[in-house]
Chains A and B, each alone.
Chain A
Amino acid sequence: MDRTTIDLWVGIFVALGVSALLGLAIKVGNLRSNSLGETYTVTAAFDNVGGLKPRAPIKSAGVVVGRVDDISFDTKNFEAVVTLKIDQRYPFPKDTFANIYTAGLLGEQYLGLEAGGDEESLKNGDRIQQTQDAVVLEKMISQFLYSKASETEPEKAQAPAPATKPSDSKSTELGDAPF
């Protein structure tokens, strides 16, 4: 097949298109942050995972050390079981503490790991024992309101008592009033 300038232009066009795709994938998309190296898998059970989603970042001291692989429901204990994929480069002690945090006040949720002091480190298939649930905003607000309500209740209980007194005194006043 003889080569023509049209072929060259089409070649340039296709190359531009493909390089745009690669550029978008590398420069704009999060291709690099997704690519963890070798990972090991551990699980952790939570009473409530809140809005945590698969592929959410796992951070320790603010550094992304892995990603949430899967979230499933354990029907035996009625708990959420989160499977964590952590980069092989970052070994964590056995008594590491797993928390579910929220980025900012209303941001996405991520898993935070706080290293403990154990000599042994977590291995593939281990389970993190110490966990703390996600903060559910509704629960927190209702607890706050409940505690507020219980604070004001004694005041309310006192409040009706003085209210009846003036009426009592008023009736006596009226009764005592000289006509």
Chain B
Amino acid sequence: MIKSNLLICLIRTLQSIGRRTIDRLWRLGAGARLFLLTIIYSGESFRRFHLTIREIYSTGVMSLLIVVVSAFFVGMVLALQGYYTLQKYGSSEAIGVLVALSLLRELGPVVTALLFAGRAGTAITAEIGLMKATEQLSAMEMMAVSPIARVVAPRFWAGVISMPLLALLFSMVGILGGYIVAVPLIGVDEGAFWSQMQANVDIREDIINGVIKSIVFGVACTMIALFEGFDAPPTAEGVSRATTRTVVTSSLAVLGLDFVLTSFMLAV
């Protein structure tokens, strides 16, 4: 009796693992299909560019404040923490290089993507999930309007366009924050701060690679948010769960992709 109970328990565990794995694979495939459809239907979002512009406003412009403010603080903290270590080796002038390189290569794209997932990704998921729950998407299909062309593609391109711009602003404002801490507050020589930075930051290797990273993150974050919204069960609970999943999945995807991209870029 106990033995058979144990057996049933084991079988159920295995079943649930299998079900979850199949579910994940199904979602991965559906996500890839949605991505392909988005690319195919994206002609519409460029022909009627005002749709994309409206989405750039709600994803990019509305994220501007949080990105700029956090960039400023991240830059200031970087300068403070960097100074703590660098002054032990008597090279506190290198603080400009430290702040600029860590922002341009890593923190700019990554932190912007994390903030973007929290600020804009959740909004996209909730909006599309609610559109689905209130059957707006079905109504569009009834009217022979593809919801992918009308709803998904403009949001996708808005995210892809906004992300590198936001990441560049993040780096720029972060460097300004680092400058404010390093030069007036700590008293690092201003000329050394900028000249060391200019001598060690490479346009192609550091700035362009950072932009490439943020474009990839833009694709990943926006696509995950769109898919979660599209895939959400049309209930209040389903939408809220999908929103949570957007943040979790995008954050993990950004950090994982960051490792892959960095190793590729360093290998070249």
Binding site for B on A (CB under 8 A): 1, 6-7, 9-10, 12-14, 16-18, 20-21, 23-25, 27-34
Contacts and interface: CB of A to CB of B under 8 A. Distances in A.
A28 B201 contact: yes
Contacts of A17: 164-166, 168-169
Contacts of B244: none
A27 B194 contact: yes
20 contacts: A6-B57, A7-B50, A9-B57, A10-B57, A14-B165, A17-B165, A17-B168, A18-B165, A20-B165, A20-B169, A21-B207, A24-B172, A27-B198, A28-B104, A28-B197, A28-B198, A29-B202, A30-B201, A30-B203, A33-B198
* Max chain B Cβ within 10 angstroms of own Cβ: one of A1, A17, A18, A30: A17
Contacts of A18: 165
Nearest to A11: B53
Contact of A24 (B64, B104, B166): B104
B54 interface: yes
Interface in B147-176: 162, 164-166, 168-169, 171-172, 175
B206 interface: yes
B207 A24 contact: yes
Nearest to B53: A10
Interface of B: 50, 53-54, 56-57, 60-61, 64, 100, 104, 162, 164-166, 168-169, 171-172, 175, 194, 197-203, 206-207, 211
Given A10-B60, A10-B61, A13-B60, A24 B202 contact: no
Nearest to B99: A28
The 6 residue pairs across chains A and B that have the minimum distance between CB atoms: A17-B165, A20-B172, A20-B168, A29-B203, A6-B57, A13-B61
B252 to A, nearest CB: 26
A34 B48 CA distance: 41
Given A1-B50, A17-B168, A24-B171, A30 B57 contact: no
Contacts of B60: 10, 13
Contact of B64 (A1, A7, A13, A33): A13
A28 B169 contact: no
Given A1-B50, A6-B57, A7-B53, A28 B168 contact: no
Contacts of A10: 53, 56-57, 60-61
A29 B195 CA distance: 10
B168 A29 contact: no
A92 to B, nearest CB: 24
Nearest to A6: B57
Contact of B172 (A6, A13, A23, A30): A23
Contacts of A31: 203
B203 A25 contact: yes
A34 B57 CA distance: 37
Contacts of B171: 20, 24
B178 to A, nearest CB: 11
Given A9-B61, A13-B60, A23-B172, 15 more contacts: A7-B53, A13-B56, A13-B162, A14-B165, A16-B64, A17-B164, A17-B166, A20-B165, A20-B172, A21-B168, A24-B172, A25-B203, A25-B207, A29-B206, A32-B198
A14 B57 CA distance: 10
Contacts of B199: 30, 33
Contacts of B54: 6
Given A10-B60, A14-B165, A28 B175 contact: yes
Contacts of B206: 29
Nearest to B161: A14
* Max chain B Cβ within 10 angstroms of own Cβ: one of A9, A12, A28, A33: A28
